[in-house]
Amino acid sequence: MQFQHSFLLKALFVAASIAVTLPASAADKKTDNRSAFDKAYDPETKTIHLDPDDPTGDMLFDKRDYSKDKRPAGPINVQRYNGGLSWQGIPTFFKLPVAITPEDLKAGKVDVAIMGVPMSAGGYGQPGTGHGAQTMRISETMLPWGVGGVISETQVDPFEELVIVDYGDAAVDPLSVERSLASIRDTVAGAARAGAVPIMIGGDHSIMYPSVLGIADVYGKKNFSILHVDAHTDISTENFGHYVTIGNMVRLSVEEGLVKGEEVHAVGQRSPGYGPAKLKWYKENGVRIYWQGEIETRGFRAVVDDLLEDLKAGPGKLYLSIDYDVLDPAAMSAVTAPVLGGWTTRQLVELIRSVCVVVECIGVDFVEYNPFFDDQGNRGGNVALSIVRETLGAIAMRKKGIREPFYYHPAILGKERKPKKK
């Protein structure tokens, strides 16, 4: 009897819970029993729909409960050994300690937070850039002994002068730039607000737009310049119906007033396909562009000197956007859209060293490295990572008080060499 009674109660309870849950989902299905084909896109309103009933809908952006970590805030060294070669141990950028939250950055008084932004949905070219950041973490083969060591030519060691961390990745939806905008923007702004210079490792170039928004959130709109180093103009109006792509971030930054037109500087552009309309846009918006043709004609250093004067006359704070395709394909073929007639790695390093000592870099993105077009030894990734190392070196030079463009340490220039006695 007792058994029957409790069984009955249990059966009633189960029936009640079914009554609560079943009709609702049944009702949902009743109101929207269209096919996925019909639900995904409404051609009349031109709206792309996500599935509101998918329980994994926000999974990619779902942050872990860090409070359960039970550790003091601050950077975490995840390596077991002091030594170890670059290809051993747990891969972080340059084997650096890891920071997860803005509180970690604040507690560690972090100067530079390097983060991956593994986005590739913004690119309509050959895919693969989304895997760039993670590949760069394992591409430190130039210096087999790994992180640290002075940059010989400047005698500055960025890893001594600066507190630098691997800030993990900004969450992205690899299927959608639009859905990733807020995540990238907030991660960048969080790092900048914590007092660090955020360095974003792409990923495709679409990440520049939310990154600039994040910088503007912290420093204010029009309070900084942009230097756009790229074989391409990225002022496209042909975006196939999308608001943000790899082709229009510079246009958006200017036309949305994130930065003044005359405070945007472009250098290295040379891709085919830029007719009068593109040239007109630069002129009308006051954007200072140094086409590759001018660099070839007047010389690299002469043009960079002018660029530095432009930058010095601005707000003094700079967002630097480096598309690796500014490099010649001979130096860097592992990019989505290589263009012939580009820079040597030496020229890019000299530009970065000069720019970062003349003005204060408040954010940098490195984009378009595409490991799918790299070789098995990630030689393109090694170039890409070495450029990041040089940028850290340049930021460290400024911190040390060096303000001279095209700087080399006097000993490197032979100035400490005594004349031979005759």
By the criterion CB under 5 A, which residues form the site for Mn ion?
205, 230, 232, 234, 323
Nearer to Mn ion, 154 or 269 (CB): 269
Q: Which residues pair with 41 in a beta bridge?
A: 48
Q: Is 50 exposed, middle or buried (0-12, 13-18, 19+ CB in 10 A)?
A: middle
CB of 249 to Mn ion, least distance (A): 8
Query: Taken in order 248, 250, 255, 258, is the CA torsion positive or negative?
Result: positive
Q: Which of 131, 232 has the CB closer to Mn ion?
A: 232
CB of 18 to Mn ion, least distance (A): 55
Whole-number Å distance between alpha carbons of 411 and 401:
18
Contact 182, 155 (CB under 8 A): no
Nearer to Mn ion, 232 or 260 (CB): 232
For 125-139, b/e burial (b = at least 16 CB within 10 A) is eeebbbbbbbbbbeb
Nearer to Mn ion, 173 or 230 (CB): 230
Task: At 334, list the tokens.
Answer: 């592992």
Burial classification of residue 187, based on how many CB atoms lie within 10 Å of its CB (0-12 exposed, 13-18 middle, 19 or more buried): buried
Nearer to Mn ion, 100 or 320 (CB): 320
**Shortest CB 254 distance to Mn ion, Å:** 15
Question: Chain-centre distance of CA 410, in angstroms?
Answer: 34
Query: Distances in Å between the alpha carbon of 37 and those of 27, 45, 47, 56, 59?
Result: 20, 15, 13, 19, 23
From the CB of 58, what's the least distance to Mn ion, in Å?
Answer: 30
As measured in angstroms, the least distance from the Cβ of 335 to Mn ion is 9
Beta strand ranges found along 178-270 (DSSP E): 197-202, 225-229, 264-267
Q: Which is nearer to Mn ion, 159 or 369 (CB)?
A: 369
Q: At closest approach, how far in Å is the CB of 325 from Mn ion?
A: 7
